[in-house]
Amino acid sequence: MEEPGTVYFTGTAGAGKSTLVRAFAEWMKNAGYDATVVNLDPGSETADGVADVDIREWVRLSDVQDEYGLGPNGAQVAAADMIALKIFDIKQAVQELKSDYVLVDTPGQIELFAFREASKAIVDALSGDRSVLAFLFDPALARTPGGFVSLLMLSATLEFRFRLPLVNVLAKSDVLTPEQSTEILAWSDEPGRLYEAVTRDVPTPDVQLSTELFRAIEIMGPLGGVLPTSAKEGTGLEAFYQSCQRVFAGGEDLEPSHAPTDE
């Protein structure tokens, strides 16, 4: 059997990861694709009835808090490391379901996923050759040029960290006006437009910083576009599926766009 295609949903807290996983799983089911949903968020309150394989079966945030007398932040960090010890149980549970696709919801706070060694181990263990990171842009941030640049940097950080191909997604696009959406898409398609937007505002130190970051982004290479989706309205899901498919099929996105090849 061919290896499943694995999609990791990443993004800042509240960007819409869990909601998009749910909507995308539903879309896949209706389209006749067979997908396993994995919840890697030990503090999730929304994975019930959605996740086929749920980390909370092994590690639950509230239990970690009680058992070790930790506050919510300490418990998050402890739980993130405990998850890594259960990774082979998770992997086995996923493999037993023999699905064509695996959709992985990641912890609410991105730093727990992006910056803990444990997450790197988890992703390395779960990922086959057909894996992709979906990075969700929260429109609350993405709609300002500075916020958009910051999200691009974060997206690039994930790509560097996990060495997997990455698809940038504009989540909750339904909350944006058509004009805002068009502008954001223009920034992602044409770096020149982004530069213009970043430098248009009054030159405060913030703009100076954004401008410098922009130069770094320009040097890193093509942005690859940001795909608008709305879990609420069910839009952009087919296009997102096709983007993932292109990566799995070994298209132009197979190598991380900003990183040199391994050899």
Ligand X SMILES: Nc1nc2c(ncn2[C@@H]2O[C@H](COP(=O)(O)OP(=O)(O)O)[C@@H](O)[C@H]2O)c(=O)[nH]1
Residue 32 DSSP code: T
Min separation Cβ 102 and ligand X, Å: 17
**Residues paired with 137 in a beta bridge:** 170
Cβ contacts of residue 46 below 8 Å, gap of 6+?
18, 19, 22
- Exactly one of 5, 6, 7, 17 binds ligand X (CB under 6 A); that residue is 17
The site string for Mg ion over 86-115 (x = CB under 5 A, - otherwise) reads ----------------------x-------
Interface stretch with ligand X, choices 10-18, 69-77, 89-97, 242-250 (CB under 6 A): 10-18
Whole-angstrom Cα distance, residue 203 to residue 99?
A: 52
The site string for ligand X over 112-151 (x = CB under 6 A, - otherwise) reads ----------------------------------------
- Exactly one of 140, 175, 207, 254 binds ligand X (CB under 6 A); that residue is 175
Residues 211-240 interacting with ligand X (rule: CB under 6 A): 230-232
- Three-class secondary structure assignment of 40-90: CCCCCCCCCCCCCEEHHHCCCHHHHHHHHCCCHHHHHHHHHHHHHHCHHHH
Whole-angstrom Cα distance, residue 154 to residue 258?
A: 13
- Exactly one of 14, 147, 191, 225 binds ligand X (CB under 6 A); that residue is 14
**Of ligand X, Mg ion, none, which one does residue 107 interact with (CB within 5 to 8 Å by kind)?**
none
Amino acid present at 201: D
- Could you give the C-alpha distances from 17 to 89, 110, 123, 185, 195, in angstroms and in order? 23, 11, 17, 20, 28
Binding site for Mg ion (CB under 5 A): 17-18, 108
Binding site for ligand X (CB under 6 A): 11, 13-19, 46, 108, 172, 174-175, 230-232
